[in-house]
Amino acid sequence: MTATQPSPAKHGLVAQLSRFVAIGVLSALVDFGVYHVLLQLGAWPSAAKAVSFVLGTTTAYLLNRRFTFDSAGGHGRLAGFAMLYGTTFALNVGMNALMLAVLPAMPLRTSLAWAIAQGLATVVNFVMLRTVVFRN
C-alpha cells in the first residue's frame, strides 16, 4: 500500500462490512453448492454440511484476511482463526441439524436449514474476526 492508499483495515467498519458481505456471498455459494452436491450424491446431511462448511470457511478466511482485514496472517492469527472456526463449525453444523429436526417437511427445507445455520455463523464470524482474530 502506498502512503496515500489506506489499507482495507484502515477504511473503517462500513468498508470492512461491505467487503465481508461480498466475500461472504462468494463463500456461501461455495458452501451451499458443495452441500447440495454432496446431498445429491447421497451424503449424510451433517457430513455434507461439515465438508461444505470447511470449504466455504477456508475461502472466506483467505479472502477476508487479504481484502477485508489486510492481514499477513501469522501463527497467532492462525490459532485465533482455528479456535473461532472450530466454534462456529460446531455452531453451524449443530444449528443445521437442529433445523432439519424441527422444520416441517416442506419444499426447500434443507436450503432453509442451511440458511439459518449460515446466518448465525456469519454474524458470529464477523464480530469475532474483527474484534479478536484481525484486530489492530
Domain boundaries, the chain: 9-133
Q: Which of 48-52, 59-63, 83-87, 132-136 has the lowest mean pLDDT?
A: 132-136
pLDDT at 5 over 70: no
- Per mean pLDDT, which range of 17-31, 42-56, 76-90 is the poorest? 76-90
Q: What is the pTM of this model?
A: 0.71
Average model confidence (pLDDT) across the chain: 84
Q: Is the dihedral of CA 56, 69, 20, 2 positive or negative?
A: negative
Calculate ∠ Cα 35-37-42, nearest 5°. Answer: 95
Q: Which of 38, 58, 132, 53 is nearest to 94 (CA)?
A: 53
Question: What pLDDT, on a 0 to 100 scale, did the predictor assign at position 6?
Answer: 47
Give the span between the Cα atoms of 134 and 56, in whole angstroms: 19
DSSP string of 48-72?
A: HHHHHHHHHHHHHHHHIIIIIS---
